[in-house]
Structure 1
Amino acid sequence: MTTADAETGRPRTTRVDCRPSGSRYLVFAPDDDSAWYRDLLVSPQATLEIDGVPHAARAVPLEGGEPGFALHLLEVDAARGRAIADQLLVHHGELRKTLAAARAELDGAPAARRTELRGELLGHCVTFCNDLRMHHLREDGAFTAIEKAHPGLAPALKRLRQEHESVSRALCDLDRLLQGKGEIDRAALRDEFERVVKGLEEHFAYEEANLLPALRGEDQVAPSG
């Protein structure tokens, strides 16, 4: 099960024992100090991997004061589909703002501050990477429910899952460049940064073009290339 760290927001993955209960899964914490238990008290969204398949889940505290949760797996109906579409755009907007802040840092740093550029950009990169990892982990879980409700989206969802992996690799390349020792090569940094941005914008655009119409109940078109 993956939760968002209650303090940092970073993804936290924990192996837990779940008990099926109807359409839910019950998960019990050894005590109320368990890290994932505290995470879910702050943010009840979780991604539950069952037999290798990720599922988006909403955690509801168990009654009676026992430390644990009932995990309700996401099901996509018309109303839920519209809500997912709206939230998808919100998340993409937030991620684009973080990228814009990093670009402004890269473009606007005067010569006197270039020795500080790596630290500034690294801060933006760490924030962005954490946010994007959490976003993609939750999307992977939601895709399972979306594909069940909209089987025709299977090719688009397969491509999006693959892009999640390629985007992660590109961010790792950028992070290695920022973490490296010695004088930073501004041109190389800019090229790597723009490669990441280009890949993300293409990913966001494809996702919005192919998922939003179906989630909003509009006429669906074949996945674009």
Structure 2
Amino acid sequence: MSLLMTTADAETGRPRITRVACRPSGSRYLAYAPDGDSPWYRDLLVSPQATLEIDGVPHAARAVPLEGEKRGFALHLLEVDAARGRAIADQLLVHHGELRKTLAAARAELDGGPVADRSGLRRELLGHCVTFCNDLRMHHLREDGAFTAIEKAHPGLAPALKRLRQEHETVSRALRDLDELLQGGGEVESAALREEFERVVNGLEEHFAYEEANLLPALRGTGTMSP
């Protein structure tokens, strides 16, 4: 069978989606790379996290190199128990912290040194967006895969996870709009660029806050989710 696999490009960190031949083996899937030169194979050597789309549903997977002569990986689907839940919660906070730092750095640079011309401001924002947008897209793709396992372990989180999946799509559209504004050749006022940037940042902070308030208590087993 062939499945869509999302990996992080080993060179750029951007999401790479590839259709890969896989063989089910218990709760894992075996993916072979006979020549060892497949881009997805090189990606997993650098970052062993992947997302597999199975029957239209994304699943987070951890890639473990196969032993023996055959090159490839055993892709173990994520299962959430108490210990894994706490680890996911900690990792979520780390990722959000890194993304928040990137946004804060972009905002500080823009506010600390006013750019006199629109093209200069556009270049600064575009430089930050390229890095941040790639990181955020990869973060959300991996989250979508993890949500499948989290929902199985915590059915009560289904409404919150549904909202978070929808917000991922909303955030993706907002980032595309910002990117198009920055890439476009037309005249755009500096105030309009800053306003669009702040709109994206504020929307992301609301998303992060909702995610943390609803997922962390359940994953850590310390309480109930927010309304």
TM-score (ref. length: structure 1): 0.95
Out of 86, 89, 97, the residue aligned to residue 93 of structure 2 is 89
3-state SS of paired residue (1:83)? helix
Matched residue pairs, number? 223
Contact 1:143 1:157 in 2 (8 A): yes
1:105–1:121 Cα contact (<8 Å) kept: no
| 1:17 Cα deviation from its structure 2 partner | 1.3
Shift of the 111–47 alpha-carbon distance from structure 1 to 2, 3 Å rule, reads closer
Aligned to 2:131: 127
Partner of 2:10: 6
Match of 1:173 among 177, 181, 203: 177
Matching residue of 1:21: 25
Structure 1 residue corresponding to 2:54, chosen from 39, 50, 54: 50
Offset of residue 156 of structure 1: 0.2
User: What SS does structure 1 have at the residue aligned with 2:13?
Assistant: coil
Q: Which residue of 2 aligns with 1:151?
A: 155
Identity %: 87
TM-score, structure 2 length as denominator? 0.94
Conserved 8 A contact 1:46-1:58? yes
Contiguous gaps of at least 5 residues in structure 2? none
SS of the counterpart of 1:17? strand
Distance 1:64 1:101, change over 3 A: same
Asked whether the 8 Å contact 2:86–2:219 carries over to 1, the reply is yes
1:175-194 matches, cutoff 5 A: 175-194=179-198
Deviations 1:80-120 (A, max 9, x none): 00000000000000001111122123223334565422112
SS at 2:164 equivalent = helix
C-alpha displacement at 1:159, in angstroms?
Answer: 0.2
* Aligned-partner SS, 1:15: strand
1:38 Cα deviation (Å)?
0.4
Structure 1 unmatched ranges of 5 or more: none
Q: Which amino acid counterpart does residue 172 of structure 1 have in structure 2?
A: R
Per-residue CA deviation, residues 122-160 of structure 1 (Å, 9 max, x unaligned), is 110010100000000000000000000000000000000
Q: Distance in 1 between matches of 2:185 and 2:175?
A: 18
SS at match of 1:63: coil
Query: Structure 2 CA distance, aligned partners of 1:105 and 1:169?
Result: 25
Which string of whole-angstrom CA distances, capped at 9 and with x for unpartnered residues, describes residues 22-52 of structure 1?
A: 1111111141111000000111000011110
- Inter-partner Cα distance in structure 2 for 1:110 and 1:198: 21
Match of 1:65 among 63, 69, 86: 69
CA distance in structure 2 between the partners assigned to 1:8 and 1:113 by the alignment: 30
Asked if 1:80 corresponds to 2:84, the answer is yes
